[in-house]
């Protein structure tokens, strides 16, 4: 089947590479189950942005319950686990990823076995926890699972004060040093609980791969500036797994190379995600993993998401991977997403909060965006706070149509498909009007 | 006297402001008031108002965040905090993160808005890092006031704040007798009043209150004794409501309760290191990671024993994730310690009073 035939099949044209992500997930989960069979202390439950390279280098398989919650949401299994967590006494307002994980673990504990019919065959009970304090559930979640009595390491995640110049040497050195010292503590912790030594050469190699993934993923996003849009936002969201979760593995590197080549080919051949690209949009907020059809709905109406505010790789920087922990600390400080005019280390969610105008302005201009869709995530404080402010700024300064809808990343109960589609219809009309006025 | 200050908390701050003193609003007991006071600024604890409907903040703030924070910001937008020159926002939780931006954008009087990163962990590196953050914070205040803060001056400020905490502990001890010598509502009003004035004045006020309470004719009745723990309670009406259900609230593990005054800052030649240690290690807020249940909840059990309580009310404000994620484990821990507990989730206002009273009365009858 040539690319044109495939194009005619449906409104969304996903890359072949993105369709490999399912296989990568299967390989990854299988690795975890095999590691679990071998002996103790091989599987860690981690929060996103844990320096997973350190774990890979020590033959520990990191599993990310946040990712698994998204997978459960996609398979419509999330609410079952949310219900269970709520029955256990956890508030319905708590992060839905977290509630899915709490419910999953509670059933696992009761049955002393996997919850029945769990998506993708489930993730194994961990041997240890690696938390991160990027948000409150980031460390309270695993703390609430201490009935398993497992070792836990909490990585503290500081973000420099807004008032501080991230390039200021004193600030940079304090923060980078704090990251570095914590990485050393993490290695000590892992060596102690596994009884194995860190393989520093392997860590350097993994970081080398990670650098290549960073560089290529950044380039892919640069290619997405092209009209017509060569890569769907769904593919970007699928690529979060190899780019950000399995960073440094050979599988992730192969995926990234393949995706890069495919997107480059599409750019060269002017192949777009949809046949007639009428509107280019920007997506802000987390995905509605329980209903990814929302993206198709826009695409059916000639609107494509050219870019997103979440999980965008910043401009790559050179790192000396022969000093791996130092390199990781430096990456931590400088890899976050900020507008180009304000380089520095800001993390997911912060950029939209701190510099909405600068960030959106940059993306809207570079990606030729005509409208913004904001997903206000009911159960996530981190990505929600500041969206109203950003919206006001966009309308005030750019006079660009903005659609803001309430939903959730995993809990389908707080999302109305009919209502969202109704809003989308009005929004698309506004895009047309806006285009006409600009003409 | 206390009630009057509690009901008009900004009066003294506005008076001092008119005399040229700068007033800095701060959130949370993780903000080091000692450093602000040492900079000759007046630290002023920011509160919400459970009786004031949120009408303006919703333009700026999403509704799925802490209603206490939304309420406090709503008041700011309405001009209730126009006497503040600055605001300090510690990184206590996901809700408050970057909250200073909203103040800076929307409250005209604010010329100084500072975010303070407070680690969530208690490893040696966390203390070193936080000491560095406090040094930057101190420096920013020096720039604001154009005046250096010496270690001597900082230690004097710490001493005054330690005295304040000691006096609050002394007052709290007067709740140990059965019946207690002062109510939970009175105690909370006293703590709050003290956060609205210079610390030396708060200390004088407290000395008078202690004298009055210690010598008053105790007209209170013996009743079920309760401990309240959980999220922020910055209005005595909730405590009053609980007490109106026929109980005595004798101690609180909340941020305007023992959490703010149960320990002192160690006096040392390195006051910033002492402050770092105090704020990270001694303030028992669930936002700081502590490993075992005993480390997390042991102090509640000890308070319960010291104050001979019959039961515990766990109070959580909606969207207060760090408290809400503790609740099942805390309930289990308290049960094992022989302490019955009742969880109340609140939207911060005093809505649904009837249902709330019925639940508290039923709980009280059960443990009597």
Q: Do B62 and A91 touch (CB under 8 A)?
A: no
Distance, in Å, from the CA atom of A33 to the CA atom of B77, rounded to the nearest integer, reads 54
pLDDT of residue A309: 86
Radius of gyration from C-alpha coordinates of chain B: 20
Give me the pLDDT at residue A343, please: 39
Strand-pair partners of A29: none
- B100 → chain A, closest CA residue: A162
Interface contact flag, B326 A144, Cβ < 8 Å? yes
Task: Evaluate if residue B111 carries a pLDDT over 90.
Answer: yes
- Cα B300 to Cα B171, B192, B236, B262: the distances in Å are 19, 21, 21, 12
Residue A9 has pLDDT above 60, yes or no: no
Interface check A274 vs B, CB under 8 A: no
If you search the block for the tokens 């290529």, which residue do you land on? A216
Tokens of B217: 């004719």
* Count of alpha carbons within 13 angstroms of residue B42, beta-carbon side: 27
Domains and CATH numbers, chain B: 2-150 (3.40.50.11890), 153-367 (3.40.50.11900)
- Which residues in chain A touch residue B115, judged by CB atoms under 8 angstroms apart? 161-163
Residue B1: the pLDDT is 87
Residue that wins the pLDDT comparison between B173 and A166: B173
- Rounded to whole angstroms, how far apart are CA atoms B31 and B115? 10
More confident call, B246 vs A41: B246
pLDDT at A4 over 50: no
The 10s digit of each residue's pLDDT in A167-200 is 678 888 998 999 999 999 999 999 999 999 999 9
Helix A65-74 vs helix A78-87: crossing angle, to nearest 10: 120
Q: pLDDT grade, residue A2 (50/70/90)?
A: very low
Residue-level pLDDT at B284: 97
Residues of B in contact with A350 (CB under 8 A): 98
pLDDT at B23 over 50: yes
Q: Which pLDDT score is estimated for A395?
A: 86
> What's residue A169's pLDDT?
83
Is the pLDDT confidence value at B137 over 90? Answer: yes
Q: Where are the domains of chain A?
A: 3-438
Average pLDDT, chain A: 89
Burial of B269 (0-12, 13-18, 19+ CB in 10 A): exposed
What's the pLDDT band for A346 if we cut at 50, 70, 90? very low
Confidence of residue A163 (pLDDT cuts 50, 70, 90): low
Does A340 score more than 90 pLDDT?
Answer: no
* Confidence (pLDDT) at A13: 81
A342 pLDDT higher than 50: no
Interface test with B, best of A90, A136, A144 (most B CBs within 10 A): A136
pLDDT value of residue B279: 98
- For the stretch A75-100, what's the b/e string if a residue is b when 16 or more beta carbons lie within 10 angstroms of its beta carbon? eebbbbbbebbbeebbbbbbbbbbbb
- In chain A, the percentage of residues whose pLDDT exceeds 70 is 90
pLDDT at A390: 86
Residue A1 above 60 pLDDT?
no
Give the model's pLDDT for residue A427.
Answer: 97
Give the integer Cα–Cα distance in Å for A345 and A333. 4
Chain B contact present for A141, CB below 8 A = yes
Q: Which residues are within 8 A (CB) of A293 and not within 5 positions of it... i.e. 6 or more apart?
A: A417
Residue A436 pLDDT level (bands cut at 50, 70, 90) = confident
Cα–Cα distance between A95 and B286 in angstroms, integer? 17
| Statement: residue A339 has pLDDT above 60 | no
Tell which residue, A363, A364, A372, has the closest CA to residue A404: A372
Nearest residue in chain B measured CA to CA from A386: B61
Q: Is the peptide bond before A240 cis (omega within 30 degrees of 0)?
A: no
Instruction: Select from B129, B231, B290 the residue whose CB has the most chain A CBs within 10 Å, as the one to mutate to test that interface.
Output: B129
Alpha carbon of A124: minimum distance to chain B alpha carbons (Å): 23
Residue contact B60–A388, C-beta within 8 A: yes
Q: Residue A280's pLDDT is what?
A: 97
pLDDT score at B350: 85
Q: Which of A216-225, A233-242, A349-358, A386-395 has the lowest mean pLDDT?
A: A349-358
pLDDT at B34: 98
Inter-chain CB proximity B324 and A91 less than 8 Å? yes
Give per-residue pLDDT as tens, B236-254: 999 999 999 999 999 999 9
Q: Which residues of A touch B116 (CB under 8 A)?
A: 161
Q: Do A379 and B64 touch (CB under 8 A)?
A: yes
**DSSP codes of every residue in A255-284:** HHHHHHHHHHHHHHTT--SSSS--EEEEEE
Question: In the structure, what pLDDT confidence band is assigned to residue A6 with cuts at 50, 70 and 90?
Answer: very low
Cα of B136 to nearest chain A Cα, Å: 9
DSSP assignment, residue A69?
A: H
The answer to whether the Cβ–Cβ distance between A162 and B98 falls below 8 Å is yes
Percent of chain A whose pLDDT exceeds 90: 74
**pLDDT higher than threshold 50 for residue A344:** no
Of the pLDDT bands very low, low, confident and very high (cuts 50, 70, 90), residue A269 is: very high
State the average pLDDT over residues B11-40. Answer: 98
**pLDDT of B359 strictly over 60:** yes
Q: How far is CA A278 from the centre of its chain?
A: 27
Task: State the pLDDT confidence band at A335, using cuts at 50, 70 and 90.
Answer: low
Percentage above 70 pLDDT, chain B: 100
* pLDDT above 90 for B185: yes
Higher per-residue pLDDT: A357 or B341: B341
Per-residue pLDDT tens over the stretch B306-336: 999 999 999 999 999 999 999 999 999 999 9
Interface test with A, best of B65, B289, B326 (most A CBs within 10 A): B289
Q: How confident is the model at residue A338 (pLDDT cuts 50, 70, 90)?
A: very low
Task: pLDDT band for A3, please (50, 70, 90 cuts).
Answer: very low
Cβ neighbours of B100 in A, within 8 Å: 162
* Mutant choice from B61, B92, B95, B98 vs A, greatest count of A C-beta within 10 A: B98
- pLDDT score for A353: 57
pLDDT > 80? residue A438: no
Element spanning B272, H or E: helix B271-277
Q: What is the pLDDT of residue A336?
A: 56
* Contact assessment for residue B256 and residue B188, using Cβ atoms and an 8 Å cutoff: yes
| Least confident range of A304-313, A331-340, B149-158 | A331-340
Full-model pTM: 0.94
Structure-model confidence comparison of residues A96 and B350, the more confident one: A96
pLDDT for A349 equals 42
């Amino acid at each position: 089947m040539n690319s044109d035939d495939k194009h005619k099949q449906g409104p969304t044209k996903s890359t072949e590479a993105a369709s490999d992500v399912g296989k990568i997930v299967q390989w990854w989960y299988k690795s975890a189950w095999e590691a679990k069979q071998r002996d103790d202390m091989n599987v860690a439950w981690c929060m996103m942005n844990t320096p997973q390279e350190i774990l890979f280098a020590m033959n520990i398989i990191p599993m990310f319950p946040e990712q698994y919650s998204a997978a459960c949401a996609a398979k419509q299994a999330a609410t079952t686990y949310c219900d269970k967590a709520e029955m256990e006494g956890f508030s319905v307002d708590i992060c839905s990823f977290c509630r899915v994980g709490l419910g999953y673990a509670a059933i696992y504990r009761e049955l002393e076995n996997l919850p029945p019919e769990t998506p993708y065959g489930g993730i194994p009970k961990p041997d240890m926890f690696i938390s991160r304090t990027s948000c409150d559930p980031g460390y309270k979640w695993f703390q609430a699972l201490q009935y398993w009595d497992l070792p836990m390491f909490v990585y503290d995640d500081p973000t420099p004060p807004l008032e501080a110049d991230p390039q200021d040497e004193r600030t940079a050195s304090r923060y980078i040093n704090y990251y570095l010292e914590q990485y050393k503590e993490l290695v000590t912790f892992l060596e102690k609980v596994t009884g194995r030594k860190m393989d520093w050469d392997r860590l350097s190699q993994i970081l080398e791969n990670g650098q290549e993934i960073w560089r290529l993923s950044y380039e892919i996003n640069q290619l997405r500036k092209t009209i017509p849009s060569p890569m769907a936002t769904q593919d970007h969201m699928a690529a979060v797994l190899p780019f950000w979760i399995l960073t440094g593995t050979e599988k992730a590197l192969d995926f990234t190379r393949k995706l890069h080549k495919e997107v480059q080919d599409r750019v060269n051949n002017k192949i777009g995600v949809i046949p007639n690209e009428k509107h280019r949009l920007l997506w802000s907020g987390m995905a509605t993993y329980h209903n990814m059809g929302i993206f198709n709905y826009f695409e059916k109406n000639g609107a494509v998401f050219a870019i997103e505010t979440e999980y965008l790789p910043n401009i790559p920087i050179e790192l000396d991977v022969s000093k791996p922990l130092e390199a990781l600390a430096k990456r931590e400080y400088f890899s976050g997403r900020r507008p180009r005019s304000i380089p520095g280390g800001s993390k997911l969610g912060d950029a939209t909060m701190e510099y909405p105008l600068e960030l959106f302005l940059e993306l809207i201009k570079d990606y030729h965006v005509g409208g913004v869709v904001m997903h206000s995530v009911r159960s996530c404080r981190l990505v929600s706070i500041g969206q109203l402010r950003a919206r006001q700024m966009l309308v005030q300064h750019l006079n660009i149509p903005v659609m803001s809808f309430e939903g959730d990343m995993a809990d389908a109960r707080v999302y109305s498909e009919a209502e969202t589609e109704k809003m989308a219809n009005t929004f698309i009309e506004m895009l047309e009007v806006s285009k006409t006025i600009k003409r | 006297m206390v009630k009057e200050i509690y009901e008009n908390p900004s009066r003294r701050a506005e008076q001092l402001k008119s005399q040229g003193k700068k007033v800095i609003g701060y959130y949370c007991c993780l903000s080091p008031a000692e450093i602000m006071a040492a900079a000759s600024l007046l630290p002023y604890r920011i509160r919400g108002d459970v009786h004031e409907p949120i009408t303006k903040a919703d333009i700026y703030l999403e509704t799925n965040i802490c209603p206490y924070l939304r309420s406090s910001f709503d008041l700011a937008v309405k001009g209730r905090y126009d006497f503040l020159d600055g605001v300090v926002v510690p990184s206590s939780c996901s809700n408050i993160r970057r909250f200073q931006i909203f103040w800076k954008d929307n409250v005209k009087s604010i010329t100084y808005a500072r975010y303070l990163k407070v680690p969530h962990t208690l490893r040696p590196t966390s203390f070193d890092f936080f000491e560095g953050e406090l040094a930057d914070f101190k420096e920013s205040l020096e720039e604001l006031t154009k005046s250096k803060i010496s270690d001597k001056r900082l230690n004097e400020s710490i001493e005054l704040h330690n005295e304040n905490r000691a006096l609050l502990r002394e007052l709290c001890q007067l709740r140990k007798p059965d019946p207690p010598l002062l109510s939970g509502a009175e105690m909370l009003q006293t703590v709050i009043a003290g956060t609205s004035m210079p610390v030396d004045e708060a200390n004088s006020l407290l000395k008078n209150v202690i004298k009055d309470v210690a010598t008053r004719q105790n007209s209170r009745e013996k009743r079920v004794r309760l401990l309240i723990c959980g999220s922020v309670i910055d209005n005595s009406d909730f405590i009053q409501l609980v007490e109106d259900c026929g109980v005595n609230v004798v101690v609180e593990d909340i941020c305007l309760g023992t959490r703010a005054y149960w320990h002192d800052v160690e006096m040392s030649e390195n006051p910033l290191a002492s402050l770092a240690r105090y704020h990270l290690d001694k303030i028992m807020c669930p936002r700081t990671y502590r490993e075992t249940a005993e480390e997390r909840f042991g102090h509640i059990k000890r308070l319960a024993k010291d104050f001979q309580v019959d039961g515990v009310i766990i109070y959580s404000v909606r969207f207060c994730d760090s408290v809400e994620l503790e609740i099942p484990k805390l309930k289990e821990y308290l049960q094992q310690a022989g302490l019955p507990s009742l969880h109340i989730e609140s939207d911060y206002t005093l809505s649904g009073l009837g249902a709330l009273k019925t639940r508290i009365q039923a709980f009280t009858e059960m443990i009597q």
